[in-house]
Structure 1
């Protein structure tokens, strides 16, 4: 199978294209109106070259040649280097590689002379493209790696993506498939980000070639068709020709000659249209392989000879090798051993030459990789050193700023001290003035005092009289206020004591009702009938000499009695103790009724020792389920399920049996009457009412039919009370 793997991406810098979206006819009109040989005419000629080089490269060649003819009159030398690159690109389309290399080198020299970094990066990349097109991959890598570095420095993402693709092609041809795939995977998101259709189609096509080299032909077909779809959508003739040719090769290797001929014929038409001889040679070789598979040896020979002819013209060794092998196989099939042997010898010669070139390329690639890594390390060391120097400068600047700030603070402090001294001096003067005024005041007071002493003897008796009257009045007023305040306190204390007495009365009444309810629950739980039956069962096991079962029954009955007595002393108990008492009770009843029913307890990963439950509230529901739901029915798989789950700030406990249910053979009214009189239900409702009074209506109790009208479902909802959240009485 013949593939042309060099799916190359070309690019130009900003000086290469001016108004690329303008039409050729409008540019021609502008060119006629501007005959002066200056920068403006050069720009128009370069735009015309860009518009027409892909469709009519030979006609487009006149435009860059005209620019170069008056290059000495051009002020902006970027237009001169762009003209050299345009001319080289046209030569690449015409497969005139030596002339393309010469033009790219001339453009690079101009860009270096004017230190035009964008142009230098483009020139290096394009020279690498020429070498890659000639299968001189080691030489191509010498130019691609520094071009990639420059594009990364210039932060031109599109050109970085292009360089990643072209470098990936070189790695592919040199056998480094992992590095090639890494390059393609980096480039594809860049082209998708900028909706660069050409870049996407080239990357997808090259990924297809990688899959082909890894013998994964179906993946190769998949990615090649994606590339072809994008190329056809934007009328990219070169890419369409390439992918049609590659698909022809893939299907030929998959032994599907009809599909190979279908895609190959499209590729031939397109390559003849754009005059791409090298690709045309690969197309002919794919045609030869397809006809050989169809046993049409004459057509296979015809296309193989044409492929070999083109391979010699464009000097492509791998195509000459494949064409020679194809002709050897064709002549063997035509029973012409001499010709077959002759072409087989040529095949071996070309194969040995390619193998030697590959070895040289690998040695050169390793050397280039070493130099590249060494340059990369030096660059990183310089970058780290520059960052260190920058940090040192920033630190010195911060120290200078701190020193300046400290100087300003010292200046402000000195100013404050000076102001303080001025204030102190003013304060001393004020104190001195006050002292003098005080002396004068004392003298005047002495004079006034001598006069007052004379008057005081006359007024002393009057003052005593007024003083005694004032004291009597104040004492009377104070006594009145104190009495008034005492009366008010007594009234307030009386009101508080009356309210407290009422609250205590309500609390005692509530406690009495709760105690009566709990006592009723104890009576219902430990009713004599249950105790009598358990003791009868124990006696029966003893009489039957089943001492082990009798012992177990006594132990469980003793444990249940102890738990009930312990729990009966409190209004709330730890849930693990209450849960254990319920399990013991159910187990005793199951043993008493000869295991006529099964049971299950599930608390849904609730930590029972951290919550509180009212004691002896759930047991009557289990007893009702056993006595009224299961024992009185003929259910063979009788089962009682007791579940506990948490819902927000409540604990929901359900008791479900699959017994006769609420809608048994007798009427619902009678059943409800029996259930209403069932053991403990009235006590449960009373306790729920009291719990709601105490915890503001957060408890509920319902009895209803079970799911699917099977049995009875009793549901109790209680407030979530933690062990640390409430005092247990």
Structure 2
């Protein structure tokens, strides 16, 4: 085994070990994946770099372990693109969007989700498109746009149900439960959380099961059904400890502490809240730690341990000021006023209560400003959607215009005349063969007229039918070749239907026929970059200048109309896909002599379906 193969085998072994370890040890599964990534980077194995980053991204967000940065995700996306695996690496876009969401960079998050949706649509990947809508719903949830969140989450759920994708179904049911919980519709929240839990138990995923149990327990706490709340939270805590998921351990202990606080069991509440805080200091973001400090301070205040409460509130206040977290400051100031009121220190109680009122007012003002900003973002998104729909409408109209240009009456008339001549010459078998091809060509053109794109493989077959009939008409005075670059998978590439037909027609009529002998027509497919490819139509005919002398007055008009329609289609499609698409026509020069014409059409590897 050579060194390259040995490195790949080692990387794959580490990734397999990572998956095996996830059920028993989260730190171990992350360590295996990080080692695989380090080796992939050292050996420049780009295809494994993006896979390792994607795997770490899943672990990072599933287990709340910050093991990747923005630059890591961007590196993964770049590697996936360079390896021609942009679609397979589509989860990296959603993971980066999730990171941006956690950093409150919502506009950037939306951009990457939209990119993921676009890639999914290009590859007709309905499942990932649905997953992406789920991520978009979570962004709108964070922005407080609950109606839009509801719409996106339901769209994701509907697609997942159509696909039978249980993992996405359980996720969106859980997200909808969180949405209803946020809105205070606890019975609806319970219904969705319980449906999600049922599926999670079926797929036997301990982390997801524990998460659902936590959510249900928190709803029961909000309903003041404390016995049920403790039952679910304790079950979740037991699972979380068995799989060493520190985030869920912290969350459950904190929630159990809150239940005991609300029921007046302050000693038990102190125990759980203290344990949650100590572990959170090791594994959670600092602002989450500050929230837990507030929780514990409130319990100390209620149990009469005022100095401890003040110490914790001061820690929380410092963190809130450092991070400009006015929501947290509002809570801290309120609790400080309560502690000093219990201490009968009226001046201090008044001071902190005044700060509480001022901060609360400022928070409400900022919330109004955020509402305006949210509405502006929504208006921008709506305008972009309207522009996209207009472009799609224009594209559909352009496709209809292209159909009219493709079915040239002269071609129809002359083709049928040629078949009729074969019948007159008693060449019945050959006539039937060409009649069959003519019928297939007409049917394909009409079928494809309703589509914005077809597979390149199908399109090349149609070109073959068209050229076969033209060869019959002109008694096989030219040959036809198709050259496909080995990196091009024509079955997985798209093309607007009959995009090159006018150029084939022009090459045959005005380039090759006047040549008389050794005439050749070639269609060439070759890659340009990760998103585009080139289709060339080349002939070794007499060239553009001499062909002008052979054209009639009517023919140039048809050719010119076809060219205009193609450029219109490419412009509209390029605007939809945010790609530069165009076609160029040039003479083929050999030894300073024109030896033909070459048309180059820049096309997207995948387009859209309208």
Taking structure 2 as the reference length, what is the TM-score of the superposition?
A: 0.49
Q: Which has the larger radius of gyration?
A: 1
Taking structure 1 as the reference length, what is the TM-score of the superposition?
A: 0.42
